[in-house]
Amino acid sequence: MGRSGAGKTSMRSLIFANYSASDTRRLGATIDVEHSTVQFMGDLGLNIWDCGGQHKYLDNYLNEQKESIFGNVEVLIFVFDLETTNKDREYTLYDECLLNLAQYSRDAKVYCLVHKMDKILDSDQKAAMVETYKKALNKRSDMFQPGVYGTSIWDHTLYQAWSQIVYALVPNMATIKRHLSNFCRLTDAAEVVLFERATFLVVCCTSGDEDEPQLEKYMTISQGIKHYRNTCTEQTSPFRSVHIRTRAYSLFVEPFTKSTYILVITADPEIEPAVTKANIDAARSHFAKLAD
């Protein structure tokens, strides 16, 4: 949900339809609601409703159609256009959406994406802008406690936000994460990351030492591979896997379960890559039970 031109269809096309950021320039305004379904992490069928943001449609959503629009909602993603000329009207729309959500889908999760952050160059200013929205939104969101993220289709922030959303959507994510940590420890890997197969979103990551997981690094790898995968498909030789070995590290990107890819990085030169590969193969069926 969000006003016309905010970037809803653009982000949907990037995440779920292999668009590149510049491809979105040819998108027209969305007519009414565009429904799409994606099979996500195996059993999870995501129904995505992209609600065209022009006035005539918004009026309908909030009046005649409110029950069908706001009923049975699992997640509401509201896209704020950083460049809007009328902030108040955007907030009013948000308020009205939440009012309806509270009535028809009280348990829904809410995410607010402050979009087109690439328009702000200074990183301190970026952070300040997201903070401002966060404050304003927390005040007006009542029971929903939205997750607020700054995003742009021109960098990894969009993927970062969507990874968070997906993480919350997959029901047994905590279990998967625990098993992934175990796997990381047992194989002496430095880093292990799980990607969703269709979107290549980072769904789960863990590292051997106590360091913070390097999310930004995984986002870049995920985008790089996703982009490369498109190139391979154009060449009619679909991408399967990459294995990089140096004296300092060994890196695998491998198809894992039916719905995931796995990234494994080992930093200990004593560990034979063939052993790591065998470990990945051995873990596959176990994780298939959890993730598919």
Partner 1 sequence: DQGVAPHKDQLADRRVMFMGLPRSGKTSIIKVVLDNEQAYDTLGLLSTTQRTEHRMMPGITVYDFPGIDDYAESQYIVLNPDIYEGEHTSLVFVVDSQSDIQSAITALFSVMRTAQSVNPHIPINVFINKIDGLSEELKQDIQHDIQQRVLKNMSFENLNCDHMHFLLTTIYSESIKEAFSKVIQYLVPQHSSLEAIINSFCSKSSLDKVLLIDFSTKIYLATDSSPTYSPRYTFACKTIDVIDEISALCGSYVPVDEDDLPLQRINVALDGYEDIFIYQISPSLTLFCFGPPQIISQTSLLEFNGSKVAKAIRKLLPI
Ligand X SMILES: Nc1nc2c(ncn2[C@@H]2O[C@H](COP(=O)(O)OP(=O)(O)OP(=O)(O)O)[C@@H](O)[C@H]2O)c(=O)[nH]1
Q: Which residue ranges make up the site for partner 1 (CB under 8 A)?
A: 217, 220-221, 224-225, 227-228, 231-232, 235-249, 251, 265
Q: Is 65 in the site for Mg ion (CB under 5 A)?
A: no
Cβ closest to ligand X, residue 41 vs residue 93: 93
Calpha distance 41→53 (Å, rounded):
29
Q: Which of 1, 2, 137, 195 binds ligand X (CB under 6 A)?
A: 2
Q: Is 208 in the site for ligand X (CB under 6 A)?
A: no
Q: Which of 1, 15, 41, 53 binds ligand X (CB under 6 A)?
A: 53
Cβ–Cβ < 8 Å for 263, 218: yes
Q: Which of 30, 65, 138, 164 binds Mg ion (CB under 5 A)?
A: 30
Cβ closest to Mg ion, residue 81 vs residue 254: 81
**Residue 265 interacting partner from Mg ion, ligand X, partner 1, none (CB closer than 5 to 8 Å by kind):** partner 1
Q: What are phi and psi of 261, to 5 degrees?
A: -115, 155
Q: Is 24 in the site for Mg ion (CB under 5 A)?
A: no
Cβ closest to partner 1, residue 31 vs residue 274: 274
Cβ–Cβ < 8 Å for 94, 140: yes
Q: Tokens 């997640």 identify what position?
A: 75
* Nearest distance in Å: CB 158, partner 1: 18
Calpha distance 256→262 (Å, rounded):
6
* Nearest distance in Å: CB 23, ligand X: 9
DSSP H or E run through 263 = strand 260-266
* Nearest distance in Å: CB 34, partner 1: 30
**Residue 126 interacting partner from partner 1, Mg ion, ligand X, none (CB closer than 5 to 8 Å by kind):** none
* Nearest distance in Å: CB 77, ligand X: 11
* Nearest distance in Å: CB 55, Mg ion: 14
Longest alpha-carbon distance in the chain:
66
Residues 6+ positions from 157 with CB-CB distance below 8 Å = 117, 149, 150, 151
What are the tokens at 58? 């918004």
Q: Is 13 in the site for Mg ion (CB under 5 A)?
A: no
Calpha distance 170→164 (Å, rounded):
10
Q: Which of 15, 80, 116, 257 binds ligand X (CB under 6 A)?
A: 116
Strand order in the sheet with 147-151: 75-81, 109-115, 147-151
**b/e map 256-266, b = 16+ CB within 10 Å:** bbebbbbbbbb
What is the contact surface with Mg ion in residues (CB under 5 A)? 9, 30
Binding site for ligand X (CB under 6 A): 2, 4-10, 24-25, 27, 29-30, 52-54, 115-116, 118-119, 152-154
